[in-house]
Amino acid sequence: STQLSFLSFSSFSSLSFLIFLFFFLFSFLFFLFSFLFLSSFLFLLLLPLFSFFFFSFLSSFLSSSFSFFPFLLFSPPFFFY
């Protein structure tokens, strides 16, 4: 009878552990996807702004001189990729 109670207890604990694991994974994935969605949404919002700044920056530098070409590679849009 002790073995039976131990078996039922172990099955119950494994079941609770599986439920806990499932909820933990579900919440983790939910937070991950929401974070990715929010970051992509923010990125899509900021992309026109950054592209506008980048093209104005590029045109001004290209019209002035080619001496600051290495500085162009470290402009804000390249940090996003």
> What is the tens place of the pLDDT at every residue in 19-66?
888 888 888 888 888 887 777 777 777 777 777 777 777 777 666 655
Question: Model pTM?
Answer: 0.35
Distances (CA, A) of 63 to 54, 55, 79: 14, 12, 24
Domain count, the chain: 1
Q: Which domain holds residue 65?
A: 2-80
Contact assessment for residue 50 and residue 77, using Cβ atoms and an 8 Å cutoff: yes
Report how far residue 50's alpha carbon sits from residue 78's, in angstroms, rounded to the nearest whole number: 10
